Amino acid sequence: MAGGRYGPQLLALLAAWVAAVAATAGPEQAALPAEQSRVQPMTASNWTLVMEGEWMLKFYAPWCPSCQQTDSEWETFAKNGEMLQISVGKVDVIQEPGLSGRFFVTTLPAFFHAKDGIFRRYRGPGIFEDLQNYILEKKWQSVEPLTGWKSPASLTMSGMAGLFSISGKIWHLHNYFTVTLGIPAWCSYVFFVIATLVLAFYGIFLFLPSTEQNGRSEEAHRAEQLQDAEEEKDDSNEEENKDSLVDDEEEKEDLGDEDEAEEEEEEEDNLAAGVDEERSEANDQGPPGEDSVTREEVEPEEAEEGISEKPCPADTEVVEDSLRQRKSQHADKGL
């Protein structure tokens, strides 16, 4: 009787105790930390890590259903990364639009393989077994790598990253206008159109003065070149004129020297002719005979005067000395 009376009470107490234990165990289980993910998030600041070693990257978006279906497979692949000697990363294209532009991601999910800075696109399914075989069997060697301007490290893709980052900022701003502030979408579009036009006109106004300055500088440079060419022509003309004047003076001096030489020769000829005439006159005064004897006897004084009029050797020596002096002067002038 006693056991049947207290039996339901004991069962109620046991149920309350079990409920209390379950209530206390629930928060403890909830407080246990979740298993840490082996997938490394990649951003614009640390993406250069994939330039060294071997990597597999996944580009995804939180709202993409296909990306969500491959999340568990990607986590399993990352857990076996140490065994495969590979690093596993993921890129959120919403948070990192510039990085998606660098890899030129147009479809989601997108997978890439990187080996020592050489990138290849993985186009297989995002299943763990396929990913594991892709690494173990080195199937990536048969895939053509991204080279030239398509490489994420190229200058072209860096510019593409900048464009994608700007578009991402515009998209975030559009969501802020439409979702947070409640502005109609068409008002946001009008705002962006006006901002684009303002920036375009601002760029034009900045570009035009620079082109005008460049044109002016080119014109000034051309004017300087023309001025320099004219100065060179003037200098060359002056030099030619100087050379011609010098040549004319030299010709005049040569002509003057020739004239002086001719005059001296004429003077010498005249002097020689005068000496010959004097000698001939002296010889022609009369033949030797009686007349000369009687003339000498009758007029001894006149004979003495005639003898004095004959040319003396001293006069010829003076003439020769004068000729020598003129020749020496002419020679000095020639030097």
Query: Which residues are catalytically annotated?
Result: 64, 67
Nearest to residue 160, comparing CAs of 145, 178, 146? 146
> Quick check: 112 and 103 in contact, CB under 8 A?
yes
Helix (H) or strand (E) holding 15: helix 2-31
- Work out whether the CA dihedral 100, 101, 105, 106 comes out positive or negative: positive
Residues 12 and 160: their CA atoms lie apart, in Å, by: 70
Give me the residues paired with residue 57 across strands: 89, 112
Helices 300-309, 290-298: inter-axial angle, 10-degree rounding: 110
Look-up of token digits 């700007």: 166
The contacts of residue 56 (CB under 8 Å, 6+ apart) are 77, 86, 87, 88, 89, 111, 112, 113, 114, 122, 131, 135
Residues 45 and 95: their CA atoms lie apart, in Å, by: 12
Helix (H) or strand (E) holding 185: helix 185-283
Tokens standing for residue 322: 């004068």
Amino acid letter at 280?
A: S
Residues 91 and 102: their CA atoms lie apart, in Å, by: 12
Q: What angle do CA 91, 93, 94 make, to 5 degrees?
A: 125
DSSP calls for 34-59: PPPP-PEE--TTTGGGGGSSEEEEEE
Quick check: helix, strand or coil at residue 91?
strand
Look-up of token digits 């040319």: 311
> Quick check: 275 and 267 in contact, CB under 8 A?
no
Q: What φ, ψ does residue 152 adopt, rounded to 5°?
A: -60, -25
